[in-house]
Amino acid sequence: MGGRRAMTDCCALALEASSDRLGLAARRGQQVEYFEAQPARTATADVYAHARELLGRLGAGFADLDYVAFGRGPGSFTGVRVAAAVAQALAYARVIPVCRISSLAVLAAGAGPGLHAICVDARMGRVYAALYQVTGDAAPLALMPEMLVDPATFRFPGDAACSALGDGWQAWPALLQRHQSRLAALHPGLLPSALDLLSMADRDFAAGRTVAAADALPEYLGQAPVSLPARTE
């Protein structure tokens, strides 16, 4: 593989399929193309076709890619697995690095500046939970580890006002009620965007925060739910 090109000349592809929306974003230099479909169609052949079309609009192809990014999850098992598989295959074929980025962090980035409490329904009586602070154009800052938790008992740490992101808040009314006093806004319909993923990936790629193809793996957060210690009322 030759030397790394300047960011202004780079060609990149970002894949986000952790929710019920499939999103792809491609960039070549300063030009960006974007595709999304909801509900998501995450058959591998469809994802490749959309990626090929996006790159074609930029006058590029898979052979021109300098890096590929994907939303690692947690989220839809099928979507995350397909996004990881496509990113890994392209990285192996081109011998290029991968930006493996949390889909919950991408969701926080899309909400803009502020403190964001994220709950995404994980089915089977659990939610994926995360707490992110977004400041200006900086990458979202995780204020707690991303967790698979029991919504019947889980409580976010701290008391600061925050916005609620993710469909888990509506799926579990008791969780919403438990945090009602600190929620400044509720955005259950906001989903991770491939455009936000691409912006975050550009930053990581420029800083060398990438992984090899072999490490481009999904994040499922394990099977056993965990929770933070209960707060004294």
- The pLDDT score that the predictor gives to residue 7 is 67
- The pLDDT score that the predictor gives to residue 6 is 60
Helix boundaries (H) for the chain: 44-57, 77-94, 103-111, 168-171, 173-178, 194-207
Is there a single domain that holds both residue 25 and residue 80?
A: yes
DSSP state of 126: E
Single pTM value for the model:
0.91
Is there a single domain that holds both residue 21 and residue 62?
A: yes
- Cβ pair 25, 34 in contact under 8 A: yes
Torsion region of 85: left, alpha or beta (phi above 0 gives left; psi -120 to 50 gives alpha): alpha
- The pLDDT score that the predictor gives to residue 4 is 56
DSSP state of 232: P
Is there a single domain that holds both residue 145 and residue 94?
A: no
Q: How far is CA 3 from the centre of its chain?
A: 28
- The pLDDT score that the predictor gives to residue 42 is 77
Pairing of strands 114-123, 162-165: parallel
Distance from C-alpha of 76 to C-alpha of 194, rounded to nearest angstrom:
15
34: domain CATH number is 3.30.420.40
Q: In total, how many domains does the chain have? A: 2
Is there a single domain that holds both residue 16 and residue 98?
A: yes
Domain assignment present for residue 29? The answer is yes
- The pLDDT score that the predictor gives to residue 41 is 79
**DSSP secondary structure of 21-66:** SEEEEEEETTEEEEEEESS----HHHHHHHHHHHHHHTT--GGG-S
Domain assignment present for residue 195? The answer is yes
Domain residues for 49?
7-102+191-215
Is there a single domain that holds both residue 195 and residue 178?
A: no
Is there a single domain that holds both residue 97 and residue 201?
A: yes
Pairing of strands 98-101, 114-123: unpaired
Is there a single domain that holds both residue 96 and residue 203?
A: yes
Is there a single domain that holds both residue 20 and residue 81?
A: yes
- The pLDDT score that the predictor gives to residue 39 is 81
- The pLDDT score that the predictor gives to residue 124 is 87
Query: Which parts of the chain have pLDDT scores under 50?
Result: 1-3, 223-233
- Cβ pair 116, 162 in contact under 8 A: yes
Q: Which of 64, 17, 63, 51 is nearest to 191 (CA)?
A: 17
Is there a single domain that holds both residue 91 and residue 161?
A: no
Domain assignment present for residue 207? The answer is yes
Average pLDDT, the chain: 92
Is there a single domain that holds both residue 69 and residue 119?
A: no
- The pLDDT score that the predictor gives to residue 86 is 97
CB-facing half-sphere around the CA of 122: CA atoms within 13 A: 24
- The pLDDT score that the predictor gives to residue 153 is 96
Distance from C-alpha of 55 to C-alpha of 195, rounded to nearest angstrom:
14
- The pLDDT score that the predictor gives to residue 5 is 60
- Amino acid present at 72: R
